[in-house]
Amino acid sequence: MSLPQRIIVTRFSAMGDVAMVASVLKEFCLQYPSVEIIMVSRSFFAPFFDGIKNVKFHAIEPKTSHKGFWGLVRLKKELAQYNADAVADLHFNLRSRVLALLFSLSGMKVRQLDKGRAEKKALTRKENKVKHPLKLTVERYADVFRALGFHFELSHKLLSNLQDVPKTAFSLFGNFERKKIGIAAFAQHRYKILPLAKMAQIIDYLTHHGYDVLLFGGGQEEFQIAQNWTESFPNTYNTIGKFTLREELDIISNLDLMISMDSSGLHMASLMGIRCLSLWGATHPYAGFTGYGQESRDCIQVEHPSRPSSVYGNQPCDCDGIEAIDLITPEMVIEQITAVR
């Protein structure tokens, strides 16, 4: 049986997951350069796929033109123009499953993501946790292509993706003698965020020991926190709200190191081939969401029987009255930074 030569790939959200898909597609397209990929995701995420040969991006607009069932019917008609011969559903949520069903009914070959929900539930339940490493999410994505017939092996290595520094960011890289460390100090859920006072201690150390610190994130509240840090510490720069996603990725590609929560900052660093120290509280690397190509030794965490409390960090993880993320000390992070240097 011949392999598909044009594949519709769906992954609509979340930001970190879409970045992981981009890392997987980079390797897939290197191994199968004759296969064309039509990537379907939210328009905001299009820059993740810039520069990946044979990837065409098609935006889903779930709040407007592709809203509801009839919106998905419209999206299916739009995608039909590509004459694809297979669908790889890397999301397996309601929207992607309906879209996959529509294509399946028209006779197209469809393969879908196995999220491993039962395993993850056993890992995160309160009592009698089954605590062992689960399959990496990127391998679950790769499995979908394998189910389509491809012999696809991931290298699990960081692939250099150095880009030109955006002209609007030249001032951030003016001092070539100081190493540049990015810090993505925020996350969608508070149980994954290192207490701000501790992060401030880390920034204070770095900026007084030969590093420039670039702060990443999104939203007005995060902007103000980052702005306060830039005013409190020398050699600290706030990128929030000042650059497009494409520009942020280009900036990240020029960093010497990234420090991130278990959040999209980790996966953006991986996509751009940058080593990242990741901080884990309520979540755990065992769930499979470590950064692509990152080293397990760079996952900074403190073990406790109640970890992980959830896969996504949306549930509290109380450890003797202290949130799990609060068990991480600035000294632990600084020690690992020093080891990297």
**What are the DSSP calls for 32-50, one per residue?**
-TT-EEEEEEEGGGGGGGT
Give the mean model confidence (pLDDT) for residues 6-10.
98
Residues linked to residue 257 through DSSP beta bridges, in sequence order? 181
Give the pLDDT of residue 176.
Answer: 83
Dist CA 235 CA 278 (whole Å) = 22
Give the pLDDT of residue 305.
Answer: 86
Spatial CA neighbour of 285 closest among 259, 257, 266: 266
Give the pLDDT of residue 319.
Answer: 78
Give the mean model confidence (pLDDT) for residues 174-198.
95
| Terminal CA-CA length for the chain | 51
Dist CA 152 CA 181 (whole Å) = 34
Q: E strands within the chain? A: 6-10, 36-42, 55-60, 86-89, 109-112, 179-184, 211-216, 236-238, 257-261, 276-279, 299-300, 318-319, 322-323
Element (H, E) at 116: none
Q: Six-digit token pair at 166?
A: 């955006």
CA-CA distances (angstroms) from residue 89 to 140, 183, 309?
Answer: 11, 32, 27
Tokens 């003698």 belong to residue: 177
Predicted confidence (pLDDT) at residue 147 exceeds the cutoff of 70 = yes
Considering the chain, what percentage of its residues have pLDDT values greater than 70? 99
Spatial CA neighbour of 92 closest among 21, 168, 158: 21
Q: Six-digit token pair at 315?
A: 């549930």
Spatial CA neighbour of 57 closest among 39, 74, 42, 43: 39
Give the mean model confidence (pLDDT) for residues 196-216.
97
Q: E strands within 186-336? A: 211-216, 236-238, 257-261, 276-279, 299-300, 318-319, 322-323
Q: What is the mean pLDDT of the chain?
A: 96
Q: What is the pTM of this model?
A: 0.97
Give the pLDDT of residue 341.
Answer: 67
Predicted confidence (pLDDT) at residue 321 exceeds the cutoff of 90 = no
Considering the chain, what percentage of its residues have pLDDT values greater than 90? 95
Give the mean model confidence (pLDDT) for residues 266-292.
98
CB crowding 209-239: b at 16 or more within 10 Å, else e:
eebbbbbbbeeeebbebbeebeeebebbbbb
Give the pLDDT of residue 326.
Answer: 95
Predicted confidence (pLDDT) at residue 317 exceeds the cutoff of 70 = yes
Per the CB < 8 A criterion, the answer to whether 21 and 37 are in contact is: no
Element (H, E) at 26: helix 15-31
Tokens 């594949």 belong to residue: 7
Taking phi first (over 0 means left), then psi (-120 to 50 degrees means alpha), and beta for anything else, what does residue 242 get? alpha
Dist CA 336 CA 49 (whole Å) = 31
